[in-house]
Structure 1
């Protein structure tokens, strides 16, 4: 009898320890996120080509439940609602910490030529504005993430680009751009942006002084009336108490206000700061901002390059759940008549509840 009781206890102990261990390593759920993102070439004293981009975004808190709005949207990305085979195909298998989020964003992008004139300037970037409302789904675990965003919007006068630029230039006492009457015509736009993230464990290191490094890589594929393109890139960070953040977050493609990976560290300092470097390349089959509108005829202004590169650097500061990031990103020439590559300043504010 004693031997039987001991055997039963020995059999039950591993189960208890496994359950306790699972509870200890399970990543905490994340709160909802709001963010403001600004991209502008005036940070470097310029004002042409891609001249301004602004986004206000919100992401829900994470959930591992299937029967939620996040779970339903995340099915196509390999979320908890997906079949085992589809989840495996989407790279979301093999992790107990599968998380899902959804979000909304309002984005305005603005483009102008290199010279000011009241008449159309061919061989230079056309005037273009695009105002979009985006719906984002994000499915992630500790090492991978899938992001899918549907953007619906409008070009032309309904994009409010002319009024936005006029207001900002008047506020700061800057010279106005007089050629918005020649902007590309107004039409409805629709685009899908997909991005797959990979956490690069080999570059993730921690040192006794609190100094850390981490890195991510990604590839993306976009299709619609605005962009038909594919590409990839990589970001590397170095600093103190990095926390669960990511500097790779351009608003000109698939992005989300929330970090792209599940974070299972239970104790992180209230403050942190870091520097980052970033590099990317993309192959472009269609670009509305250079090729013209799809359903309404528009003049041909420029001939675009089929491949565009981008690289940049910057720094970020985090205090508790709030983060500020500033960087400079450089883009190679996007069309054959462009005078030189372009530099854009990036400012991002984010808070997690």
Structure 2
């Protein structure tokens, strides 16, 4: 196995600066657009370590499977991480709660509508990246049912905002331990990068993902395009319903032209779904067949972001096509993200 020394021997020190650790708060909620059903809430608190090129670190050990500095030359090449002296790796943790409800507020089970589901997970993330590619692997362990705290969380939020309560949480999917692996590979699309002077620019990324476990068995891909001023090392593609990290997905070998930055973004993706616990029911416990899901789901969205020094705020609207046959219409979810790099 070749270590970091074989990768960097005889080369100049990496020109790109190391990045600090990152904390983030990510909220997805249909209440932002006046709705309150199906996928109704997602909250994630995340932390990522600072970047390192060292192999004898926790980031280096976790990053081995993703082509990090501790991997062999052949495996690094297979994972698309060869040919760059700016190879970086990070690791992180996140706590995520997802919540789903039917379209009508009834106490008894509603067949043909989304079941009540809560899922609370703890995730361990590994990120390996260079200037043009990134690999992200996340293991999420969690629970459905009452231990997910979804019923209490929704009750508290609705009480604070004076909203009507959902009475059917006693019919939520049963309590069950969940485990899922989420993998995502990013590509920086340099052909769409343009610099127009005075800090105005565009950039884009594409990705594909494959997920397997008791929660999701699916695969898909997508693309995000940004346009604005002083884009810097940020990314709005950061859905909490799959592999994600609080840290940006690429190494940027340049400095910002200003403390301030702003951008608009467009995003589109699609995925083929073989298993979805939130619609199909739990794996190891018997649960009713509430709905028939569609095998392909698409998503698109738009929004804006603002950065100041090392802090970024983002808000967007994302539209999700129907996920099951009797769903009334596609769904719109508001996305809010706050991220700070130390």
What interval of TM-score do these two structures reach, taking the shorter chain for normalisation? over 0.9
Of 309, 314, 320, the residue aligned with 1:320 is 309
Deviation of 1:267 after TM superposition, in Å, equals 4.1
Instruction: Please state if 1:31 is matched with 2:20.
Output: yes
Residue 339 of structure 1 is matched in structure 2 by: 328
- Give the alignment partner of residue 148 of structure 1, picking from 137, 157, 172: 137
Where does residue 229 of structure 2 map in the other structure? 240
Q: Match for residue 6 of structure 1?
A: none
Q: Considering fraction of residues, name the structure with more helix.
A: 1
| CA offset digits 1:85-122 (Å, max 9, x no partner) | 00000000000000000000000000000000110000
Partner of 1:270: 259
Q: Which residue of 1 aligns with 2:158?
A: 169
**C-alpha distance in 2, partners of 1:191/1:268?**
41
Name the counterpart of 1:95: 84
Q: Distance in 1 between matches of 2:205 and 2:179?
A: 28
* Greater mean deviation of Cα atoms: 292-301 or 204-213: 204-213
**Number of the residue aligned with 2:288:** 299
Give 1:207 shift. Answer: 1.1
Give the match for residue 240 of structure 2. 251
The Cα shift of 1:210 comes to: 1.4
What is residue 115 of structure 1 aligned with on the other side?
104
1:201 matched residue in structure 2: 190
Q: CA deviation at 1:209?
A: 2.2
Counterpart Cα distance in 2 of 1:128 and 1:97: 43
What pairs with 1:7-86 in structure 2 (closer than 5 Å)? Answer: 22-23=12-13, 26-86=15-75
Look up the SS of the partner of 2:238 in the other structure. coil
The answer to whether the 8 A contact 2:232-2:256 is kept is no
Q: Give 1:269 shift.
A: 1.3
The higher radius of gyration belongs to 1
Corresponding position: 1:178 with 2:167: yes
Instruction: Tell me, yes or no, if structure 1 residue 188 matches structure 2 residue 187.
Output: no
In the alignment, the residues of structure 2 paired with residue 140 and residue 261 of structure 1 have an alpha-carbon distance, to the nearest angstrom, of 6
Cα deviation digits, residues 325-353 of structure 1 (max 9, x gap)? 00000000000000000000000000000
List structure 1 segments (4+ residues) > 6 angstroms apart after TM superposition.
none
Query: What SS does the aligned partner of 1:345 have?
Result: strand
1:295-314 per-position Cα deviation (integer Å, ceiling 9, x unaligned): 00000000000000000000
1:9 aligned partner: none
CA distance in 2, matches of 1:174, 1:239: 37
Unpaired stretches in structure 2, ≥5 consecutive residues: 1-9
Task: Say yes or no: does 1:216 pair with 2:180.
Answer: no
2:338 aligned with 1:349, yes or no? Answer: yes
Q: Could you list the runs of 5+ residues in structure 1 that have no partner in the other structure?
A: 1-17
Question: CA separation in 2, counterparts of 1:49 and 1:145?
Answer: 32
- The alpha-carbon deviation at position 208 of structure 1 amounts to 1.3
How far apart, CA to CA, are the structure 2 residues paired with 1:297 and 1:142? 47
Contact 2:206–2:223 under 8 Å retained in 1: yes
Aligned length: 333
Q: Secondary structure of the equivalent of 2:283?
A: coil
Cα distance in 2 for partners of 1:132, 1:83 equals 32
C-alpha distance in structure 2 between counterparts of 1:231 and 1:118, whole Å: 36
State how far apart, in whole Å, the 2-side matches of 1:342 and 1:141 are: 35
CA distance in 2, matches of 1:246, 1:213: 12
SS of corresponding position for 2:61: helix
The offset of 1:266, in angstroms, is 2.9
Contact 2:22–2:247 under 8 Å retained in 1: yes
CA distance in 2 between partners of 1:202 and 1:270 (Å): 26
